């Protein structure tokens, strides 16, 4: 079976290695680098910079741990080198894995020329490749509104922020979703004066208000200026200086050295000639898929950001794996459909925020009866030892059966700790299963066991 994959991000890579392992003849076409946007611009560089910023703020707070005052300074060159090292290490590892599984990698830009063919415009000329099945995993790119033209120098998209040429003295971030708040956190960790333009009255619209409130408190403590209820309508270079001027619809104006757009993304579906293969897109350019990731053409799949589901690397990779399993006939035996409502996600701010499954507000809105238990980390010995008692664990369960339906964690290592609740939600475990697990002491996970009581 000839399986062609367009795009080498988390969706494409995972599909390629899983399908090859199960016996498919796999060709993966990638125009840029294996690892995709996730490695090049999104997850890896952003989290590497956030980790350095986190180390700096941890050191600044370490006086409470019996240490002398530490005042670390960032070395931009060393940080850039570190980002590049991590990226190339991961890219190398991914390429090795793909070749060890016998995946043929073709470097170039692909487009469909018929229901069973793609044409690759590559560095070594063009090549037509025939397939029995194909996967479109071409990802997405930052959305650029018509009212602003990024210049890569002062008016930036999230992709222009790495490697950091300079750290902005002051920055206005437009967009208060997950990406926006992570950039606010990152720049403020490096001592920039940050303004966040928040179109509603709450950062992270759609998240549990209690969770958003903890983050807003941290932003205010750091001196971040929150411009609530405002929509940016223009960003221009400042005629009176080196910086930029951001204008909002309510007349407010913000001046800063840089501005960063974090207002979502658009799918990379243009230029693929999907019509030739019988694959439809919706009005936003996303490729609609069914619960098996099948597009409007029964032999062609789509996965990752381009499919318009949850724009997360972890979800993209799981979709890729499910596609490979279905393709190779595993679905009849052990294949479980992907349930997007059970995807864990995290926001790498300080404190970290992570959640999974049913949210309290969502349950109340739908009138569903739930039991909510909440334990603050301040009651946990390890949080006190860590000198960081901020945040809490919240578990949502079914009052009749005790089955865990969801949860959120705000606090140090929330992104790691949420795995316990994610496993419980996926495997339909009960709160009693968490309570009866013999966990480590002293550890932050003790708050999980207590919240499950
Ligand atoms: C700033 C930022 C931070 C993020 N952090 C996280 C995080 O911490 N955790 C998380 O889970 N998610 C995170 N995400 C989301 C995550 O990056 C995406 O969900 C993920 O990259 C999607 O993977 P993908 O496989 O769909 O596409 P991508 O990673 O975008 O890969 C698609 C690949 O397809 C290639 N391609 C496109 N068109 C063609 C063509 N015609 N021919 C050949 N190749 C083509 C591209 O070059 C690209 O390499 C973040 C996003 C942003 C913007």
Read off the pLDDT of residues 16-33 as tens digits, 9 standing for 90 and up: 999 999 999 999 999 999
- Domain 2-142+266-332 has what CATH class? alpha beta
Q: What is the pLDDT of residue 397?
A: 98
267 Cβ closer than 6 Å to some ligand 1 atom: no
31 Cβ closer than 6 Å to some ligand 1 atom: yes
Same fold yes or no, 2-142+266-332 and 155-263 = yes
Quick one: average pLDDT of 228-240?
93
Quick one: average pLDDT of 236-257?
93
Phi, psi of 64 (to 5 degrees): -70, -5
Q: What is the pLDDT of residue 40?
A: 86
Nearest Cα residue to atom 7 of ligand 1: 43
406 Cβ closer than 6 Å to some ligand 1 atom: no
Banded model confidence at residue 407, pLDDT cuts 50, 70, 90: very high
Quick one: average pLDDT of 93-118?
97
314 Cβ closer than 6 Å to some ligand 1 atom: yes
Q: Whole-angstrom Cα distance, residue 277 to residue 297?
A: 7
Q: What is the pLDDT of residue 122?
A: 92
Q: Which CA distances in Å does 206 have to 37, 43, 178?
A: 26, 22, 11
Most confident of 44-48, 365-369, 416-420: 416-420
- Domain 351-452 has what CATH class? alpha beta
Q: What is the pLDDT of residue 166?
A: 77
- What confidence tens digit (pLDDT) does each residue in 136-174 have? 999 999 999 999 999 999 999 999 987 777 788 999 999
- What confidence tens digit (pLDDT) does each residue in 182-216 have? 999 999 998 899 999 999 989 998 888 888 999 99
136 Cβ closer than 6 Å to some ligand 1 atom: no
352 Cβ closer than 6 Å to some ligand 1 atom: no
Q: How far is the CA of 14 from the centre of ligand 1 (A)?
A: 13
Q: Inform me whether the pLDDT recorded for 58 exceeds 90.
A: no
Dihedral of the CA atoms 163, 169, 173, 176 (nearest 10)? 100
Give CATH for domain 155-263. Answer: 3.50.50.60
Which atom, in ligand 1's list, is nearest to the CA of 110? 42
Nearest Cα residue to atom 21 of ligand 1: 38
Nearest Cα residue to atom 3 of ligand 1: 42
Q: Where are the domains of the chain?
A: 2-142+266-332, 155-263, 351-452
CB 120 within 8 A of CB 126: yes
158 Cβ closer than 6 Å to some ligand 1 atom: yes
Q: State the DSSP code for 284.
A: T
- What confidence tens digit (pLDDT) does each residue in 321-376 have? 999 999 998 866 566 788 999 999 999 999 999 999 999 888 988 999 999 999 99
> Would you tell me how many other CB atoms lie within 10 Å of the CB of residue 126?
10
């Amino acid at each position: 079976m000839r399986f062609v994959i367009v795009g080498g991000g988390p969706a494409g890579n995972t599909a390629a290695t899983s399908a090859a392992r199960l016996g498919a003849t796999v060709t993966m076409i990638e125009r840029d680098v294996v690892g995709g946007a996730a490695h090049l611009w999104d997850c890896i560089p952003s989290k590497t910079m956030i980790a350095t910023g986190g180390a700096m703020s941890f050191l600044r707070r370490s006086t409470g741990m019996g240490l002398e005052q530490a005042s670390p300074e960032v070395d931009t060159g060393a940080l850039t080198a570190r980002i590049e090292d991590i990226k190339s290490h991961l890219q190398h590892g991914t390429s090795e894995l793909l070749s060890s599984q016998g995946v043929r990698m073709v470097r170039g830009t692909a487009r469909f020329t018929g229901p069973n063919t793609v044409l690759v415009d590559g560095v070594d000329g063009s090549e037509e490749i025939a397939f029995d099945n194909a996967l479109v995993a071409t990802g997405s790119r930052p959305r650029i509104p018509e009212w602003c033209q990024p210049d890569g120098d002062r008016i930036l998209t999230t992709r222009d922020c790495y490697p950091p040429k300079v750290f902005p003295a002051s920055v206005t971030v437009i967009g208060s979703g997950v990406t926006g708040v992570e950039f606010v956190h990152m720049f403020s960790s490096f001592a920039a004066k940050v303004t966040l333009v928040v179109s509603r009255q709450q950062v992270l619209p759609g998240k549990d208000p209690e969770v958003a409130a903890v983050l807003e408190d941290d932003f205010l403590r750091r001196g971040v200026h929150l411009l609530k209820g405002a929509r940016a309508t223009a960003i221009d270079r400042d005629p009176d200086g080196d910086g930029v001027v951001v204008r909002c619809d309510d007349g407010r104006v913000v001046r800063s050295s840089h501005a960063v757009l974090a207002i979502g993304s658009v799918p990379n579906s243009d230029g693929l000639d999907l019509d030739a293969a019988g694959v439809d897109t919706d009005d936003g350019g996303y490729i609609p898929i069914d619960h098996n990731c099948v597009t409007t053409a029964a032999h062609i799949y789509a996965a990752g950001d381009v499919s318009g589901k949850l724009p997360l690397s972890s979800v993209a990779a799981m979709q890729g794996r499910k596609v490979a399993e279905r393709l190779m006939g595993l679905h009849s035996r052990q294949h479980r459909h992907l349930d997007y409502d059970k995807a864990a996600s995290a926001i790498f701010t300080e404190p970290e925020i992570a959640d999974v499954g049913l949210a309290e507000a969502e349950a109340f809105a739908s009138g569903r009866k739930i039991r909510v238990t909440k334990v603050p980390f301040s009651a946990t010995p390890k949080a006190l030892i860590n000198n960081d008692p901020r945040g809490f664990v919240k578990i949502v369960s079914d009052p009749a059966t005790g089955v865990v339906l969801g949860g959120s964690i705000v606090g140090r290592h929330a992104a790691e700790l949420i795995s316990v609740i994610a496993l419980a939600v996926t495997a339909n475990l009960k709160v009693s299963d968490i309570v009866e697990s013999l966990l480590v002491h002293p550890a932050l996970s003790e708050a999980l066991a207590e919240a499950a009581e």
